[in-house]
Structure 1
């Protein structure tokens, strides 16, 4: 499950299986527009390690970012709560070095496996107690691993999301370096102009 418009308040029971068939119609979901796809590929190239790495894509949806990561040589494990989304992701990455699991992004069913990158787009705000979730995710990273979190705040009357300063504060105890990139001013990523707060945090953890 991932959402870019964030029209549902946190805690709302959204049937993502019902939305799966049409999910990729949004420009920044399916990345079918060549310009949007190129923009996200460029950002991922900057955020992910330069060498082949194990990437855990939480709330992977239909696997669009997973596909870009795999195309850049990374090994991807995707987790989503929607079986329909997972099915579409598996089809999208058929033949790639990728695996997809149905499960809770807050407590991904990966056993003892550890990763170099935890990639999450527009999911963290929907989860209860983001601080606790981030601490658990930190345990799934290898020494020197990194978080790549794409987040935002949507709406004006009853905004939903996590402001950048709050999320930076939650990440600070878990990382040696946190880098903030504002994304609202790049319409290529969204296929349109946006005025709400959209950003990415790349947080590097301590090495061995």
Structure 2
């Protein structure tokens, strides 16, 4: 059995009487210096599968885009939550990620019976919530959510790059690359940067 088939088997292991709708949740954008953190929540019918679904980090940008369209078309319901840089600075990145996840669930058109979250943290929910470490490599629904979150956030950063082309966000998506740091040193911090992530640079003496 392929590892991709095992993702669906993992999800189906949670199915039981009264637990038929499984929601997978993942986020993208905890580590970048700029832009939002984006979470996605996805629910599929139990019989829906796709052997190409995988952790978004293991897929090419082109493959993620194709699978994004497939997920949107085949999901029973999906929701997205976005928390922007200002709020990340205000409540910290962990709380921002959890808030984005909770918002993604609230944006579902169907109420799940159980929630599977990538990672080791949970948020308060009206249904059973399970934190799954390495969930994007184990669960079909979480892997699908990781693709939705990643593609959505990448598109946001590509759009932002039109306004601030010097920072290369169309390529680095706001992550702390050498080129990104060099652009910050040369051009300064933009209104879209997370100030709490750049304290050393912002507070550096002249």
Q: TM-score higher than 0.5 here?
A: no
Query: More helix by proportion, 1 or 2?
Result: 2
Q: Comparing both structures, which one devotes a greater share of its residues to strand?
A: 1
